Structure 1
Amino acid sequence: MLLGCIADDFTGASDLANTLAKGGMATMQFVGVPQTKAPAECEAGVVALKSRTVAPADAVAQSLAACEWLLAQGAKQILFKYCSTFDSTKEGNIGPVADALIKRLGADVAVVCPVFPATGRTLFNGHLFVNGRLLNESGMQNHPLTPMTDPDIRRWLGYQTKTEVGLVPFATVRAGADAIGKALSAEAAAGRCLAVVDAVGDEDLHAIGAAISGAKLITGGSGIALGLPENFRRQGLLSGRGTSFTQAKGAAAVLSGSCSVQSRAQVKAYTAKHPGLVVMPDDVISGAMTPQIAFDHVIGRIALAPMVYSSADPDDVRAAQERHGKEEVAEAIEGFFGELAIMLADAGVSRLVVGGGETSGAVVTALEVDRFHIGPEIDPGVPALAAQGPRPVRLALKSGNFGALDFYDKALAALGAP
């Protein structure tokens, strides 16, 4: 293994794996910290954790365990991947995990770059934009678990970390890899172990990638990985094998637990042509809606690739959280989708498309997936996946704000045919 990656959720892990595979690295996505060695052909290993919204201490422990396993596989460089909208709270978990990895790896400085231009995430003067709007005006301020109310990544990260946060501004980035490298060295000399690095286009990410070829630790969204495969290619370390993926034939269903603006638009577009079953938190918690009820609904309409969704308006979600508690609502919905996914897979549904990072984590964990082979890209940041484990289904795991309006139909076609 050349590059070892730690992702704080499952959709982000597949997003990163997609970027690395497209860059020519033989990439595998692992679900949780494996108990066995990585296959010898694996050049980039992505460990998918469900650590984005757990307690900071738990996120640190999980991430360090993943780091130890990756180092044991021979990883020469570690990448900590988080969402391109920097999903976190003032307590963490990005800062605490980054601090712990810096200490473990003995890194002088680590890049902080949550940028993905293909999906509209750009960074200028340390401020994060989503499709040209500041992060706190993009809809992310309404996220039910990690509301992003400040677009200044230096300031937001400053709440979470014990170190001072530096900045490599856009003018320096556009000056090229050498200028970026010198700026990062200056940040390290000043004692700023984390440095936010501006980027607005793929060319910036390639320049940053060239500048950090020898870095012990890198942090960012999946876009930061754009320039990394070339570093290993220049050293003659890549085999050119790529990864294996085959489509499946069989029944299909869609599960959506994301409440983002884009997810709700995608649900509306999909259910205009396919059957849909809405799931409300109150009904799940009271027992009025169960996985068995949803399963019966889906199986009765399976030829039409039905959708089950809990993608409610943020105000409705907040009201449910106030009635029952934020963690209780999240656990109820995630448990519901996990159980439903098991029932569908055991009934022969071979293609599942899942919307939402937390929902995807619940589904993948429930299905006991060991690892994924990475397939073709469906939309920027979302590949088709072939699960390896007791239920070898084909999956697409979509982060809430990713994908075009017709994403779900395209995803089902990419996974296979009826």
Structure 2
Amino acid sequence: MKPQIAIIADDLTGAGDSAVQFVRCGWETQLYVGGSEEAFALGDMQAQVVSVNSNSRALAPQAAADAVAREMQTFRKHDVRHVFKKVDSTLRGAFAAEIEAARQQWHADAIAVVCPAYPATGRTLEHGILLVNGIPVTDTSAGTDPVTPVTESSVPTILNCNLVSPTQDDTPATLAQKIGGAGAIVVVDARTDADLKLLAQAIVLLGERALPVGAGGLAMAMAAAWASDHIAGDIVLAVVTSQHSATRAQVAALQEQGATVQTPEPQVLADDALWQSWQQEMLEQVSGSDMASRILVLLAPARQVPGLTSATVARRLGQLALTIAGTGKVRGLIATGGDGAEQVMMALQATGIRLIDEVSGGVPLGTLIGGNYTGMPIVTKAGGFGSEHVLIQAAETLMERKFK
């Protein structure tokens, strides 16, 4: 297997904490103690992502740059598609020298997009200043590090480059445009995980010439963005038959996030002709270019009419899920309610689920076994399980994780 992505860090623990973000997003990932030349020479590489260590944290700038350049040359020789340059989240080491060396060795028109923010650990980048729990990094222990003390908190100052500060109105496309016009090295502000997610999506739009540079926070966002870029299908399809109030609240929260929720009237579900007409309308909506959302929820009605059983509702929605899956636009499924999940599985002729992980406690994630849709990702959830945002988590997982 030839790796698609390489991670290069300046020490072993950095190589590890970035690599694990890719594991969490479903990438086959291997961490090597030594450098890339040794990793590729071993001949046992079975990874989509390889993470190596240039062991350059304590080196002088030129020596560190030379070490990074050697690693990048190996990556180019082995046709690695993307590189993530891991740097210390408190700017220690030969920060500027390593970034420039990596950029020069990547592509002739490479753009190093730099954001060492890691909100989960208190690191944010605001107006170009790296803050640790709200304090400039030079005023923390990093400023008195005995080996590599940090003497400047402004990342654009260290790199002598431009700063891009995203606005609330920015989309991945507009942010990519700003970054693309800001120079060969660009620093981008980020205060939250959502900021990093937007940045990662912009980096994907910049293409293979983009060289993301950051810490574990940006590694996590890039792992998801690159995984999403490799997944076939545009739509996460949820089939919800549970009448539990918790599930209904979860659907409402998902709808607030922009999901399209379609609920057939009970009389439509009870009548064959009306159902066929409604099903055709849904299929045209999914097949057309005017699909309003990347998440489509088929929600069983809360009320019933005489002669309409819950089993009929589940069977109808399961068959509709099969029809929609047949368009080739479905990248993953969510099935909420035991009867609905069973009918979806039966309609797709799946014999089981290869379990991979949990979206949250009691909400398993896996891929279908058997039938024509073997390997399609699926999340199943009992009616009363999960927080109000669990369906949002499930949809994001299906959109941002890589599956075999």
TM-score, with normalisation over the residues of structure 1?
0.50
The offset of 1:133, in angstroms, is 1.2
Q: For residues 27-66 of structure 1, what are the structure 2 equivalents within 5 Å? A: 27-33=29-35, 34-35=37-38, 36=41, 39-66=44-71
1:223 aligns to 2:217 (yes or no): yes
Aligned partner of 1:184 among 179, 186, 190: 179
- Give the equivalent residue in structure 2 for 1:75: 80
The offset of 1:131, in angstroms, is 1.1
The offset of 1:112, in angstroms, is 0.9
Separation in 2, partners of 1:223, 1:38: 31
- Residues 196 and 145 (structure 1), Cα distance of their counterparts in 2 relative to 1, 3 Å cut: same
1:25 aligns to 2:27 (yes or no): yes
Q: After the TM superposition, which parts of structure 1 deviate over 6 Å for at least 4 consecutive aligned residues? A: none
**One-letter amino acid of the counterpart of residue 205, structure 1:** L
**One-letter amino acid of the counterpart of residue 162, structure 2:** G
The offset of 1:15, in angstroms, is 0.9
- Residues 237 and 63 (structure 1), Cα distance of their counterparts in 2 relative to 1, 3 Å cut: farther
Aligned partner of 2:124 among 118, 122, 125: 122
- Give the equivalent residue in structure 1 for 2:290: none
Separation in 2, partners of 1:43, 1:28: 8
CA contact (8 A) 1:117 1:201 kept: yes
- Residues 104 and 4 (structure 1), Cα distance of their counterparts in 2 relative to 1, 3 Å cut: same
After superposition, the CA RMSD in angstroms is 2.2
Instruction: State how many pairs are aligned.
Output: 224
Separation in 1, partners of 2:194, 2:201: 11
Aligned-partner SS, 1:17:
helix
CA contact (8 A) 1:166 1:194 kept: yes
CA contact (8 A) 2:84 2:212 kept: yes
Separation in 1, partners of 2:11, 2:84: 14
- Residues 149 and 95 (structure 1), Cα distance of their counterparts in 2 relative to 1, 3 Å cut: closer
- Give the equivalent residue in structure 2 for 1:104: 105
The offset of 1:108, in angstroms, is 3.7
Separation in 2, partners of 1:232, 1:68: 22
1:55-85 per-position Cα deviation (integer Å, ceiling 9, x unaligned): 2222122112211222333310112111011
CA contact (8 A) 2:18 2:220 kept: no
**One-letter amino acid of the counterpart of residue 226, structure 1:** M
CA contact (8 A) 1:9 1:51 kept: yes
CA contact (8 A) 1:121 1:129 kept: yes
The offset of 1:235, in angstroms, is 4.1
Q: For residues 13-412 of structure 1, what are the structure 2 equivalents within 5 Å? A: 13-33=15-35, 34-35=37-38, 36=41, 39-88=44-93, 93-105=94-106, 106-158=108-160, 165-171=161-167, 175-187=170-182, 192-213=183-204, 214-216=207-209, 217-236=211-230
CA contact (8 A) 2:66 2:101 kept: no
Unaligned runs of 5+ in 2: 233-356, 358-404
Unaligned runs of 5+ in 1: 159-164, 239-375, 377-418
| Greater RCO structure (CA 8 Å; 6+ sep) | 1
1:248-301 per-position Cα deviation (integer Å, ceiling 9, x unaligned): xxxxxxxxxxxxxxxxxxxxxxxxxxxxxxxxxxxxxxxxxxxxxxxxxxxxxx
Separation in 2, partners of 1:109, 1:74: 18
Aligned-partner SS, 1:31:
coil
**One-letter amino acid of the counterpart of residue 60, structure 1:** A
Separation in 1, partners of 2:58, 2:92: 9
The offset of 1:176, in angstroms, is 2.7
**One-letter amino acid of the counterpart of residue 91, structure 2:** F
CA contact (8 A) 2:166 2:175 kept: no
Aligned-partner SS, 2:114:
strand
CA contact (8 A) 1:110 1:215 kept: no
The offset of 1:224, in angstroms, is 1.2
- Residues 166 and 40 (structure 1), Cα distance of their counterparts in 2 relative to 1, 3 Å cut: same
1:116-146 per-position Cα deviation (integer Å, ceiling 9, x unaligned): 1111000010000001111122222111122
Q: Which has the larger radius of gyration?
A: 2
Indicate the percent of aligned positions where both proteins have the same amino acid.
Answer: 27
CA contact (8 A) 1:30 1:46 kept: yes
